Amino acid sequence: MNTKNEIEEQKQYIQKIKEINQVQKPKYSIFTMGCQLNENDSEKICGMLEEMEYKKVENFKDADLVIFNTCCVRENAEDKLFGKLGELKKIKEEKGTIIAIGGCMMQEKHITDKIKESYPFVDLLFGTHTLHKLPEDLYNVLDQKHKQEDIIDIEGKIYEGLPIKRDSNIKASVTIMNGCNNFCSYCIVPYVRGRERSREPKDIIEEVKELAKNGYKEITLLGQNVNSYLRVEREKNIPFEEYQGVNSFATLLYAINKIEGIERIRFISPHPKDFTDDVIKAIRECDKVCKLVHLPLQAGSTKVLKDMNRKYTKEQYLHLVKKMKEEIPNLTLSTDIIVGFPGETDEDFKDTLDVIEKVGYEQVYMFIYSRRVGTPGDKMENQIPDDIKHKRFDRLKQLVENKIYENNQNYIGTTQKILVEGKSKNNEHTLTGRTDSNKVVIFEGNDSLIGKMISIKILSQHMWYLKGEII
Ligand code: 5AD
Ligand code: SF4
């Protein structure tokens, strides 16, 4: 069956559940862990559920159906899931809540084994390659009243046409590719999300056009490795249809830049090794593409980078940064860092600090290395003791905070273009928006500005946000 027919079949299950739900209008609650790709998947889960006439509630105690969309990039997500399942046991006993768990963690056998053994009351387990089958799986739970497991270990296909309920009506994420072929030695993603495959250019462009028509202003293009969009297809002669000249990530940027109504384009995450000149040129030439580039470093030491299988050296990374800064006016950068990868010495760690000093990032996302079952990193013998990992993490955090403080000072007195996103969380008299460089800015203003691009003069900085006034 082709993917279009598979989706049609699922739409019939949506109708069947809708009929069951019409009287009761049951409620659902969803927990999303992890990255923006998972958040985008959750928007699709919500889209399917709302078509089935489920109504969303925040508190899982009020829900008839609780769904977890899990992440397995680091260990703490597992602790969180098991904690929540513990809480749900009693609630399920009282009111028969249906519990479904999906996402990356479900592609790990040791986790699903543990759930089946220790939390046998869970009704449905589904994986990353079977998200589109949620209607059928859920129907089987409701109809047959027994547990379902729908997890397959394949390369995965691209499914178009799933309903979607987006979290915002100003900013939208658009997944452009799934999976990863890089096998960084610490990372579980290639094992749970399968091989790289790109969406057809036409499907992406049509989706963005539709978003623009519906008033969306900012688009974030998502993928585990966005700058290798369509590369596997080109290299292996896997057929795809060129549309509006799109046959690479750079050409995709140009095409989306032309879509009227869209004011900002962001993308995460690119891989430094694939940062080709055409992408740098596209970022410079496309006025809507934000000049903040997330460029994951992971570690500063060439030796650690080699062990991580990152395929670039410290010098190559710094050279790329230099070239990008020269070629893209007003470029800002953010990055990901892992501390405590196996074999990392104090000298290696100093290389990480050195790169942070030299590059001057806008934002640094810092992680303590977490052993992932099945990855090469987990089998390495020279694991770093926890206390050293934590000491290095604290030292890194201190440096990063100092640098961010210094960097924020440079904003004071400048005028920034802001996309106004809504009221501030903690003060309903102020609005919040973001700069091109993704800094949060808080200012006083009228609600009618929400969704608009405006100019703000920055008055003060507060570490994680800036304050300003409309000019
Ligand atoms: N331990 C710690 N951090 C990790 N990341 C990926 N795998 C691990 C791991 N095993 C981080 C990387 C990646 C980000 C999304 O998560 O920095 O870029
Ligand atoms: Fe993981 Fe590396 Fe792929 Fe990113 S590029 S998802 S870190 S394997």
Domain boundaries in the chain? 3-150, 168-290, 294-408, 415-470
Whole-number pLDDT of residue 157: 86
Q: What is the pLDDT of residue 425?
A: 87
Which one of 309, 344, 367 would you pick to mutate in the ligand 1 pocket, going by the greatest count of ligand atoms within 8 A of its CB?
A: 367
Task: Find out whether the beta carbon of 192 lies less than 6 Å from any atom of ligand 1.
Answer: no
Beta bridge partners of 178: 197
Looking at residue 1, what is its pLDDT? Answer: 75
Does the Cβ of 184 fall within 6 Å of ligand 2?
yes
Q: Rounded CA gap, 51 and 18, in Å?
A: 7
Distance, CA of 400 to CA of 443 (rounded, Å): 26
Q: Which of 186, 226, 392 to mutate to test the pocket of ligand 1 (most atoms within 8 A of CB)?
A: 186
The residue type of 325 is K
Handedness of CA 28, 29, 31, 32 (dihedral sign): positive
Mutate to test the pocket of ligand 2, among 37, 128, 189 (most ligand atoms within 8 A of CB): 189
Q: Is 370 in the pocket of ligand 1 (CB under 6 A)?
A: yes
pLDDT < 50: residue spans in the chain: none
34 lines ligand 1 (CB under 6 A): no
The tens digit of pLDDT for each residue in 95-150 reads 999 999 999 999 999 999 999 999 999 999 999 999 999 999 999 999 888 889 99
CATH number of 294-408: 3.30.750.200
Neighbours of 83 (CB within 10 A): 10
Ligand nearest to the CA of 189: 2
Domains 3-150 and 168-290 share a fold: no
Q: How far is the CA of 22 from the centre of ligand 1 (A)?
A: 43
Provide the whole-model pTM: 0.95
Nearest atom (ligand 1) to Cα of 375: 10
Name the residue with tokens 């006016």.
329
Pick the CATH number of 168-290 from 3.30.750.210, 2.40.50.140, 3.30.230.70, 3.40.50.300: 3.30.750.210
**CB of 314 shorter than 6 A to ligand 1:** no
Q: Which atom of ligand 1 is nearest to the CA of 372?
A: 10
Distance between CA atoms of residues 146 and 450, nearest Å: 47
* CATH superfamily name and code, 3-150: Methylthiotransferase, N-terminal domain (3.40.50.12160)
CA of 241 to the centre of ligand 2 (A): 27
pLDDT of residue 12: 96
**CATH H-level, domain 415-470: superfamily:** Nucleic acid-binding proteins (2.40.50.140)
Measured in Å, residue 185 CA sits from the centre of ligand 2 at 9
CB 288 within 8 A of CB 259: no
The finding on whether 225 has its CB within 6 A of some atom of ligand 1 is: no
